[in-house]
Structure 1
Amino acid sequence: MFGHDQIAAWHLVEEIILPGSIASAFIVNITNKDEIAEAVNLVREKYGPIDSWINSSPIYKFYLLLKSKVYILNNSIAHNLKITFFGCQVAISHMIISGRGSIINISEQLKKEHQSLESNHYALKFGVQTITELLARELYSSDIRVNAILPDSAVTCHKKIFNRHGSIIDFKKSDGTFYDEQSAQFVMLKKQ
């Protein structure tokens, strides 16, 4: 689901599509859960069960926290937290029916030391990671995996650099237990 940029949406679809699979992108009001659900229903009717779900958020201009306007904060929350939250709710409700699926929330695992212009951006990205980790814990006994992908270079808690098509933060081990923050497993994604 993309809130505004159809070109970026289809570019991402082309990047992630696997041989023999089908991917769709929709332009919806990302603050409206009903519109998101309607788009999902269209996909299910046309193609069948949803196997994977990717929540993406835009790159936007950085502002000093104290100079940010209310509309900037509201847009930032909508594009990062609301789409992640509503998208996961809708996708998971369908994945529970089919008994499997995977969700990827595009985020960043960054150090808390950063430039002041990036304060609201990083606060929201930590929010996306928190939603992701809590959902992974909530769904640990199911065959629904929830991860966060690191789209840009990022310094992780291991002090390693991961590149643009980087890593997935895997919060759940195969035995159902979880990694703590200091021993998180990072699985590299590579384009074949």
Structure 2
Amino acid sequence: MFDLKGKVAVVTGGETGIGLAISRNLATAGVKTVIGGIQPEAGAKAVAEIEALGGEVLFVRTDVRSQAQVEALVQTAVDKFGKLDIIVNNAGVFDGFADVMETTEELWDQITGINLKGTFFGCQAALKHMIPRGTGRVINTSSIGGLVGRADGASYTASKFAVVGLTRQMATSHSETGITFNTVCPGVIATDIRGNSASILPKAAHLMNRGVGAADPEAYKKSIPARRKGTSDEVAAAVLFLASDEASYITGHSLVVDGGFVA
């Protein structure tokens, strides 16, 4: 689709769901891909799957809440492949639609720590290598929950709005360096984000089996003109476009992949 051969990418949360599709699509497009994730068993499966397709990939266990671990992840990519062209800050967890009155301090800190602080750490670590080279693609995963207030819970919505704001601020202050900064905002995508979030945040597991879609699995169709869930590969295609040279004049943008939900 786009000529990305020879590029080097880091994808956080790249071992499951949307992140796995992004990692797989980048690697099979010829991008040397380093996955940073907190689930080593899933990471090993992702590496095996991608290598079987001919991609060059490795997995580094990374908790994005740790600045040191994120910096080590990025440095691994540079040490292994000599540079960093693309970072996709995709690691994220869901809050189970917890209302502001239900959200504990611990849940708030966990959600914002992974979704927002982890994204900030990834951006900062990547820019240390991209700015001196005068080129790079920073792509952050937000959500339709980062654009409208009715899609998700309090902490998730706050974190995803903040990711959009952080990305736009960086675009206004660093785009002249040759780096672009964009977000991709998925809508209702067929993944196991609830299950993954429950495994990462076990104290919040009881929140994951309720809310939109729990009582009526088809309820989402009422909000989506396309009347279906999106696929992880459809989100990955948007990321590949933003990572490509064809998107060189697009920065500070939020690319929505939602079947018409926001519209």
TM-score range with shorter-chain normalisation?
A: 0.7 to 0.9
Of 23, 26, 33 in structure 2, the residue corresponding to residue 23 of structure 1 is 33
* Cross-structure match for 1:157: none
Counterparts of 1:113-124 in structure 2 under 5 Å?
113-114=149-150, 118-124=153-159
- Higher relative contact order, chain-length normalized (CA < 8 Å, sep 6+): 2
Counterparts of 1:66-145 in structure 2 under 5 Å?
66-110=101-145, 111-114=147-150, 118-145=153-180
Between the aligned partners of 1:57 and 1:29, the Cα distance in structure 2 is: 9
Between the aligned partners of 1:114 and 1:187, the Cα distance in structure 2 is: 16
Between the aligned partners of 1:52 and 1:134, the Cα distance in structure 2 is: 18
Between the aligned partners of 2:71 and 2:134, the Cα distance in structure 1 is: 18
SS in structure 2 at match of 1:140: helix
Counterparts of 1:29-68 in structure 2 under 5 Å?
29-60=63-94, 61-68=96-103
Between the aligned partners of 1:148 and 1:112, the Cα distance in structure 2 is: 15
- Give yes or no for contact 1:51–1:101 (8 Å, CA) kept in 2: yes
SS in structure 2 at match of 1:68: coil
SS in structure 1 at match of 2:186: coil
SS in structure 2 at match of 1:53: strand
The one-character-per-residue Cα deviations of 1:58-77 (angstroms, maximum 9, x if unpaired) are 24222121111111001011
1:31 offset after TM fit, Å? 1.9
1:13 aligns with 2:23: yes
Between the aligned partners of 1:150 and 1:97, the Cα distance in structure 2 is: 29
Distance 1:152 1:84, change over 3 A: same
Query: In terms of mean alpha carbon deviation, does 140-149 or 103-112 score higher?
Result: 103-112
The one-character-per-residue Cα deviations of 1:80-122 (angstroms, maximum 9, x if unpaired) are 110111110000111012221001000124553416x623221
After TM superposition, the score normalised by the length of structure 2 is 0.56
The one-character-per-residue Cα deviations of 1:117-156 (angstroms, maximum 9, x if unpaired) are 62322121110000000001111211100100122259xx
Between the aligned partners of 2:73 and 2:156, the Cα distance in structure 1 is: 27
Between the aligned partners of 1:66 and 1:185, the Cα distance in structure 2 is: 29
- Give yes or no for contact 2:184–2:254 (8 Å, CA) kept in 1: no
Distance 1:186 1:43, change over 3 A: closer
Between the aligned partners of 1:18 and 1:134, the Cα distance in structure 2 is: 32
1:34 offset after TM fit, Å? 1.5
The one-character-per-residue Cα deviations of 1:9-45 (angstroms, maximum 9, x if unpaired) are 5443113335222111023121221211112111111
Between the aligned partners of 1:119 and 1:187, the Cα distance in structure 2 is: 20
Aligned AA (1:36) = V
List gaps (5 residues or longer) in structure 1. Answer: 155-159
After TM superposition, the score normalised by the length of structure 1 is 0.74
Number of aligned residue pairs: 174
- Give yes or no for contact 2:185–2:256 (8 Å, CA) kept in 1: no
- Give yes or no for contact 1:49–1:98 (8 Å, CA) kept in 2: no
Distance 1:24 1:75, change over 3 A: same
* Cross-structure match for 2:203: none
List gaps (5 residues or longer) in structure 2. Answer: 1-10, 37-60, 190-224, 258-263
1:7 offset after TM fit, Å? 4.1
SS in structure 1 at match of 2:176: coil
